[in-house]
Amino acid sequence: MPIHSLNHFFIRAHDLELTKTFFQEMLGFEVMPRPDFPFPGYWMGINGSIQVHMGPSHIPNREKYYIGTPADAVNGQTGVIDHVAFLAEEPNGFIEKFVKNKINFRPRYFPESNLYQLFITDPNGVMIELNFFNITAENAPKWEGEDYSKMERVGEITN
């Protein structure tokens, strides 16, 4: 009984409406039908599939509704999860949208895998990675990003 896909991840949104708008306008997500949970929020998805569940961070007894959130949980960071990644297409369209909307992005390229990436943060500080496969050096967007093949290598780590 193997796991075959990611169902969704949950964001405790500092500003729920701003977060919803960001996922809609910057990333192309749609609001999906959502069960009548005992707290407000949205299911956001692509092509009829839910990817992101979001609810307001500052609600009474949030630790009761959000199983992974203790009462003293901090806001505005990704936590022990470094980033969440999505597969995407047409990197130039995203770059144009981010530039137009003054969204900071950090591009990276992994020539060995023909993988081009854009990293952005959502309004809550969640790091989002957009992966574009089959991008070669010849068809990669013009950018001043990092090249994984030229990064300093980390040796073996011992505890």
Residue 159 lies inside a defined structural domain of this protein? no
Q: What is the mean pLDDT of the chain?
A: 87
The total domain count for the chain is 2
The CA distance from 115 to 134, in Å, is: 6
Q: Given this model, what pLDDT does residue 79 score? A: 66
Q: How confident is the model at residue 93 (pLDDT cuts 50, 70, 90)?
A: very high
- Kindly state whether residues 113 and 56 are assigned to the same domain: no
- Kindly state whether residues 47 and 85 are assigned to the same domain: no
Residue 111 lies inside a defined structural domain of this protein? yes
Residue 87 reports pLDDT greater than 80: yes
Residue 143 reports pLDDT greater than 80: no
User: Domain boundary residue among 49, 73, 97?
Assistant: 73
> Between 142 and 21, where is the model more confident?
21
Which amino acid is present at 57? S
Residue 158 lies inside a defined structural domain of this protein? no
- Kindly state whether residues 67 and 92 are assigned to the same domain: no
Which range of residues forms the domain containing residue 129?
76-150
Sign of the alpha-carbon dihedral angle for 105, 141, 145, 88:
positive
Residue 28 reports pLDDT greater than 90: yes
Residue 117 lies inside a defined structural domain of this protein? yes
Q: How confident is the model at residue 24 (pLDDT cuts 50, 70, 90)?
A: very high
Q: Given this model, what pLDDT does residue 63 score? A: 81
CATH number of the domain bearing residue 100:
3.10.180.10
Instruction: Please tell me what DSSP assigns to residue 140.
Output: S
- Kindly state whether residues 50 and 64 are assigned to the same domain: yes
User: Domain boundary residue among 40, 73, 106?
Assistant: 73
- The CA–CA distances, whole Å, from 150 to 112, 128, 145 equal 11, 23, 11
Residue 43: beta bridge partners?
A: 32, 53
> How many residues in total does the chain contain?
159
Q: Given this model, what pLDDT does residue 138 score? A: 75
- Kindly state whether residues 67 and 82 are assigned to the same domain: no
- Kindly state whether residues 5 and 63 are assigned to the same domain: yes
- Kindly state whether residues 95 and 116 are assigned to the same domain: yes
109 close to 148: Cβ distance less than 8 angstroms:
yes
